[in-house]
């Protein structure tokens, strides 16, 4: 019997009534409940990323309002993600032991309140705005660690892959809508602060939907076992980090997040600078259009990438059970040439630049749902929140928490005090050239994960089956 089984208390009884309970997800009533739960979780994830990238859509206005440079602007995203990652282990621990629904309700409430509070900060209190953005990260961390585990507890196999793909569509869709809503709401009201007053309204609606409509599933029910938590958090962490494919997937996701985090944060302002050089003048309408185009491409490429990556992996894994990490790795490596083209051609070939952005984002977004899916099937149900929190912590610490600030600092270094348009664009371009090289490391890590994915999945399945068998004795 695997070592993990000793840490778990089986809760199944041999009577027919319990067996019906375990398989109740197939009943019509539970299908409706599962669909409602899925819709609500999707909407919250959508708001999560809308809120996160609304700031990027009005970043230049924020810089003018607070009179800050690129390094301080990058710090806004860094402190947000740092608080997000720092609290992830705590929420992972709580998510494996206590009510996940309650955690999500509290998290959405916190991030909605702090987001709208940030819109009222006066221009001489930039430090307060930074503090409020960090608190937004705390609220979002409580949601991100546990939401995928709820989906894993109500769907299995191919249906789980599809539902995780739908859930992860909210990432690019929400990010794109964040750029669009942020830039156009601020333009409509002639004030960037209104960009932060949209998502809290919908956040309040989602809290009501959570309370009224969502029922939390039993941990492990979709996998055929109802397991009660018994092991300590340190024991969970020790067992999770022994899983080789988990470590490699985490490293791969981290390095891809470094690239995506810096590009998504600095992308709109980089392209605005390129358009300004190409047109020879500064136009507020052109700035808004850049954010609109960037948002539309992020939405479209992200949705296509998530769905295409999930479907290709689902079909390929029938012939090759190592298919998921292979698809992730190949997609990332294919995106690298297009990233270089975007950075090198954006000033002189604007239309080509938008095409290359679309292709690169499609390829980079293709791994989001697959990463979550792999995590769910190589980790046993009672450790999934903990594993998610470890991945989130490492991915943000070494990935998109630090990359916006690092890119901002490098950009300021290359500028060397110059303030002309060409120097601003060249310095930011040179800083962003770091991102494709980091992404290459991510693609390689995914390919190495394919060496261990089969044995790690089999070990998790054997653990669940062993608990199930013990419960029948």
The confidence score (pLDDT) of residue 316 equals 92
- Using the structure block, give the residue that is written with the tokens 């690129």: 70
Q: What is the mean pLDDT of residues 380-386?
A: 83
Instruction: Identify the DSSP state of 23.
Output: T
Of 427, 440, 402, 466, residue with least CA distance to 79: 402
Q: Which residue has the higher pLDDT, 376 or 328?
A: 328
Q: Is the pLDDT of residue 382 over 90?
A: no
**Beta pairing, strands 8-10 & 227-229:** antiparallel
Q: Does 21 map to a domain?
A: no
pLDDT reading at 15 higher than 50: no
Residue with tokens 């992200």: 302
For residue 301, the model assigns a pLDDT of 87
pLDDT at 438 over 90: yes
State the pLDDT at residue 50: 84
DSSP letter at 218? P
Tell me, yes or no, whether 16 lies in a domain: no
Residue found by looking up tokens 């600092």 in the block: 409
Domain boundary among 154, 189, 217: 217
User: Is 8 domain-assigned?
Assistant: no
The domain that holds 45 is classified in CATH as 1.20.1250.20
* pLDDT value of residue 226: 55
212 and 91 in a common domain:
yes
**Looking up tokens 């490596």, which residue turns up?**
333
CB 411 within 8 A of CB 70: yes
For the chain, percent helix, then strand, then coil, each to nearest 5? Answer: 80, 0, 15
Q: Are residues 80 and 191 in the same domain?
A: yes
Do 213 and 249 fall into the same domain?
A: no
H-only helix segments in 190-283: 199-213, 233-240, 244-279
**Range with the poorest average pLDDT among 2-16, 101-115, 152-166, 309-323:** 2-16
Ranges of beta strands (E only) in 289-446 are none
Coil, strand, or helix at residue 229?
strand
Whole-number mean pLDDT of the chain?
Answer: 81
Reported as a single tens digit per residue, the pLDDT across 216-260 is 887 766 655 555 556 777 888 889 999 999 999 999 999 998 988
| Residue 277 bridge partners (DSSP) | none
To the nearest 10°, report the CA torsion of 242, 248, 251, 256: -150
Q: How high is the pLDDT of residue 17?
A: 41
Cβ proximity of 364 and 305 under 8 Å: yes
Burial degree of 1 (CB within 10 A; 0-12, 13-18, 19+): exposed
Overall domain count for the chain = 2
Same-domain status, 352 and 273: yes
Average pLDDT, integer, range 167-195: 82
Q: Are 77 and 370 in contact (CB under 8 A)?
A: no
Q: What is the pLDDT of residues 300-336, one digit of tens each?
A: 888 899 889 988 998 998 899 999 999 999 999 999 9
Least confidently predicted of 153-162, 185-194, 218-227, 303-312 = 218-227
Identify the pLDDT of residue 221: 64
Rounded alpha-carbon distances, angstroms, from residue 18 to 14, 140, 226, 229:
7, 35, 10, 19
Please, are residues 136 and 51 in contact by the beta-carbon 8 Å criterion? yes
Of 191, 217, 243, the residue at which a domain comes to its end is 217
- Give the angle subtended at the CA of 422 by the CAs of 418 and 427, to the nearest 5°: 65
Domain hosting 120: range is 31-217
Per-residue pLDDT of 263-275, as tens digits, reads: 877 888 888 888 7
The pLDDT score that the predictor gives to residue 23 is 46
| 298's tokens | 């992020």
């Amino acid at each position: 019997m695997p070592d993990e089984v000793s840490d778990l208390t089986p809760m199944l009884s041999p009577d027919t009534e319990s067996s019906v309970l375990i398989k109740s997800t197939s009943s019509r009533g539970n299908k409706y409940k599962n669909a409602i739960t899925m819709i609500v979780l999707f909407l919250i994830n959508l708001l999560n990323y809308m809120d996160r990238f609304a700031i990027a859509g009005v970043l230049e206005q924020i810089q003018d309002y607070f009179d800050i440079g690129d390094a301080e602007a990058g710090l806004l995203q860094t402190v947000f993600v740092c608080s997000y990652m720092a609290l992830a282990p705590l929420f992972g621990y709580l998510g494996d032991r206590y009510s996940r629904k309650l955690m999500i309700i509290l998290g959405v409430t916190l991030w909605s309140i702090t987001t709208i509070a940030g819109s009222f900060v006066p221009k001489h209190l930039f430090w307060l705005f930074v503090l409020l953005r960090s608190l937004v990260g705390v609220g979002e961390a409580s949601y991100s660690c546990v939401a995928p585990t709820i989906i894993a507890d109500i769907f299995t196999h191919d249906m789980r892959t599809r539902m995780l793909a739908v859930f992860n569509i909210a990432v690019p869709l929400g990010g794109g809508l964040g750029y669009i809503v942020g830039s156009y709401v601020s333009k409509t009201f002639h004030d960037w602060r209104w960009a932060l007053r949209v998502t809290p309204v919908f956040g309040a609606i989602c809290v009501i939907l959570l309370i009224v409509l969502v029922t939390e599933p039993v941990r492990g029910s979709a996998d055929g076992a109802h397991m009660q938590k018994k092991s300590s958090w340190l024991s969970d962490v020790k067992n999770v980090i022994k899983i080789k494919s988990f470590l490699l997937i985490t490293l791969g996701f981290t390095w891809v997040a470094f690239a995506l985090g810096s590009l998504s944060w600095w992308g709109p302002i980089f392209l605005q600078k390129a358009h300004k050089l190409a047109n020879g003048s500064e136009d507020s309408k052109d700035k808004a259009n850049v954010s609109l185009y960037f948002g539309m491409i992020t939405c479209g490429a992200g949705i296509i990438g998530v769905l295409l990556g999930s479907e290709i992996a689902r079909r390929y894994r029938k012939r090759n059970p190592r298919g998921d990490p292979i698809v992730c790795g190949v997609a990332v490596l294919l995106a690298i040439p297009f990233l270089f083209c975007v950075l090198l051609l954006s000033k002189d070939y604007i239309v080509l630049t938008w095409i290359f952005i679309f292709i690169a984002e499609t390829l980079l977004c293709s791994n989001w749902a697959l990463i979550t899916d792999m995590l769910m099937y190589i980790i046993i149900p009672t450790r999934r929140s903990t594993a998610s929190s470890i991945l989130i912590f490492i991915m943000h610490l070494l990935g998109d928490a630090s990359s916006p600030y690092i890119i901002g600092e490098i950009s300021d270094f290359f500028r060397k005090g110059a303030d002309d348009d060409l120097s601003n664009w060249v310095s930011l371009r040179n800083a962003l050239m770091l991102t494709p090289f980091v992404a290459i490391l991510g693609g390689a890590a995914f390919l190495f994960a394919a060496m261990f994915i089969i044995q790690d999945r089999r070990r998790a399945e054997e653990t669940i089956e062993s608990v199930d068998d013990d419960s029948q004795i």
